[in-house]
A and B are shown apart, each in its own frame.
Chain A
């Protein structure tokens, strides 16, 4: 994989920030966008902006073809069997909320259980808290091991006939833990429960085959995989989606509207009320083309190599705590001794290095780690060993700055 050539496709990386060449290590928050994606959105707005699925004019047809073409690309990208199973949403949060609102509230009752883990992002916790409150179901947590992984024997022990939903992140946005989704899905199915996967940190970085994982729902965001913000995907098995009520009602999603009741369009459109995120979907389609041209396997391999390089270099530093397992996705969450992560991030920023500091939308996990906040460096296909070296130098400077002279 030619990272130098890839970097040239990302205009944003070619700039100085605070007088230093920009190093972007916050792709888990949102990835940068290649010129192909920016141009796809630009071309849509410049040359064929029109609403989809209505009207017979030429540009409207072109827009519809591009929008539905993007859906087909997503289907292929995650290996779903039908594009009817691909619903465009605003992002992962909306996708999970759709399941929690539509599926969970209809199918859950008092005494039922929803099982999640303490490593979830808030968007895979709160929808379930709310669904549990609304239905009288109980929310349970699979315990975490000291290294931030889960054990399948704990899953087996916890999942029972009462379990109706198991929801889990594919990859932890804090620990970098890669969860054994396929195995957990099997356990869930053995007890008649469904498997919901938060794929926000999975889909951008590794090959996802929803049929092989045999998950019932898989949610992810475009903006973390080179696409614009505001577009995401809810994959769901057709037989489940068919029996679910839409969450939003209005234009675009209807079949017949009578004075007192209405009927819905078929899948996937019944879940896409209102004018959809046309430019976003087209941008996502372009992002998938971009990723597939490079090859997901090559991207994963590059990230793995880089993650190991970063882990080893950072681990070798004095006075640093790295959270999560050794075998991890390409992100490293850490704290420097006696330096608050905000201060770390500010000092790095002064060197042109962007990292995330805070609770990463995972407050329960922060409490489990017994910290209020952490710093996180996350890597993607355009990052290099030089980026990691810059980070390590910046961290040494941070320690020096906060350690001496005060």
Chain B
């Protein structure tokens, strides 16, 4: 039973994304590339996005980091693909709130597997791991 508490962090679906990351790799052609790292722990991510007409047409990532940071990136790329930039940003805002342990309203947002990361809010030291990819996404679309 000792693992019970940990199980709120390491949900099955998270470990699945960690071990079988979706959208891992690079995009060809004219894409937005954002490099982001977490200087306190060494995690790094490179996010590639193809944004056309205000829509995230495609998103892929490369990187190295812990299960939480990599699973979060995998889930995020799935969730933002096909979204309007505005909606992707709204989703990022929702995610930040979720990490703070706040109740979030996901109406109108197809959050996919992301909700599995809710447990991270109970592990303050790991919140930055989960938000790294979202910070990269925000930076990418805002710089555009």
Instruction: List the interface of chain A (C-beta within 8 A of B).
Output: 18, 340-343, 346-347, 350-351, 357-359, 363, 366, 372-373, 397, 401-402, 406
- Interface pairs (18), CB distance under 8 Å: A340-B66, A342-B41, A342-B43, A342-B65, A342-B66, A342-B68, A343-B68, A347-B6, A357-B41, A358-B40, A358-B41, A372-B44, A372-B64, A373-B41, A373-B43, A402-B67, A406-B16, A406-B19
Interface size on B, residues (CB 8 A): 24
A346 in contact with B126 (CB, 8 Å): yes
Closest residue to A398 on the B side, CB-wise?
B6
Alpha-carbon distance A153/B80, docked complex (angstroms): 56
**Further pairs besides A342-B65, A342-B129, A343-B67: 9, Cβ < 8 Å:** A18-B5, A342-B43, A343-B66, A346-B9, A350-B3, A358-B40, A373-B42, A402-B67, A406-B19
Q: How far is the CB of A385 from chain B (nearest CB, A)?
A: 22
Residues on A with beta carbons closer than 8 Å to the beta carbon of B67 = 340, 342-343, 402
* B12 CB within 8 Å of chain A: yes
Most buried by A among B19, B65, B67: B67
Closest residue to B3 on the A side, CB-wise?
A401
B2 in contact with A397 (CB, 8 Å): yes
Closest residue to B40 on the A side, CB-wise?
A358
Select one of A351, A372, A401, A402 contacting B65, CB under 8 A.
Answer: A372
* B83 CB within 8 Å of chain A: no
Residues on B with beta carbons closer than 8 Å to the beta carbon of A373 = 41-43
Closest residue to A338 on the B side, CB-wise?
B19
A340 in contact with B16 (CB, 8 Å): no
Select one of A340, A350, A406 contacting B2, CB under 8 A.
Answer: A350
| Cβ contacts B83-95/A at 8 Å (1 or 0 each) | 0000000000000
B41 in contact with A359 (CB, 8 Å): yes
A351 in contact with B41 (CB, 8 Å): no
- Given A346-B126, A347-B6, A401-B6: A406 touches B12 (CB 8 Å cut-off): yes
Residues on B with beta carbons closer than 8 Å to the beta carbon of A347 = 6
B123 in contact with A346 (CB, 8 Å): yes
Residues on A with beta carbons closer than 8 Å to the beta carbon of B36 = none
- Given A340-B67, A406-B15: A346 touches B40 (CB 8 Å cut-off): no
4 cross-chain pairs, A with B, having the tightest CB-CB distances, nearest first: A342-B66, A340-B66, A406-B15, A359-B42
Alpha-carbon distance A372/B10, docked complex (angstroms): 21
B5 in contact with A350 (CB, 8 Å): yes
A342 in contact with B40 (CB, 8 Å): no
Q: How far is the CB of B14 from chain A (nearest CB, A)?
A: 9
B15 in contact with A340 (CB, 8 Å): no
Q: How far is the CB of B8 from chain A (nearest CB, A)?
A: 10
Q: How far is the CB of A381 from chain B (nearest CB, A)?
A: 27
Most buried by A among B5, B41, B65: B41
Most buried by B among A346, A347, A359, A402: A346
Residues on B with beta carbons closer than 8 Å to the beta carbon of A340 = 65-67
Closest residue to B37 on the A side, CB-wise?
A372
Most buried by B among A340, A350, A401, A406: A340
Residues on B with beta carbons closer than 8 Å to the beta carbon of A343 = 10, 66-68
Closest residue to A18 on the B side, CB-wise?
B5
Residues on A with beta carbons closer than 8 Å to the beta carbon of B68 = 342-343
Alpha-carbon distance A199/B44, docked complex (angstroms): 31
Residues on B with beta carbons closer than 8 Å to the beta carbon of A358 = 40-42
Alpha-carbon distance A342/B125, docked complex (angstroms): 9
Closest residue to B9 on the A side, CB-wise?
A346
Q: How far is the CB of B128 from chain A (nearest CB, A)?
A: 10
Residues on A with beta carbons closer than 8 Å to the beta carbon of B2 = 350-351, 397
Closest residue to B12 on the A side, CB-wise?
A406
Most buried by A among B10, B12, B44, B66: B66
Residues on A with beta carbons closer than 8 Å to the beta carbon of B6 = 346-347, 350, 401
Q: How far is the CB of B101 from chain A (nearest CB, A)?
A: 17
Alpha-carbon distance A71/B40, docked complex (angstroms): 34
Residues on A with beta carbons closer than 8 Å to the beta carbon of B123 = 346
| Cβ contacts B40-53/A at 8 Å (1 or 0 each) | 11111000000000
- Given A340-B65, A342-B66, A350-B6: A372 touches B42 (CB 8 Å cut-off): yes
Residues on B with beta carbons closer than 8 Å to the beta carbon of A363 = 42
B64 in contact with A342 (CB, 8 Å): no
Alpha-carbon distance A219/B47, docked complex (angstroms): 41
Alpha-carbon distance A274/B41, docked complex (angstroms): 34
Alpha-carbon distance A225/B20, docked complex (angstroms): 44
Alpha-carbon distance A372/B44, docked complex (angstroms): 9
Q: How far is the CB of B16 from chain A (nearest CB, A)?
A: 7
Residues on A with beta carbons closer than 8 Å to the beta carbon of B40 = 358
Q: How far is the CB of B113 from chain A (nearest CB, A)?
A: 15
Alpha-carbon distance A18/B125, docked complex (angstroms): 14
Alpha-carbon distance A350/B3, docked complex (angstroms): 8
Q: How far is the CB of B24 from chain A (nearest CB, A)?
A: 16
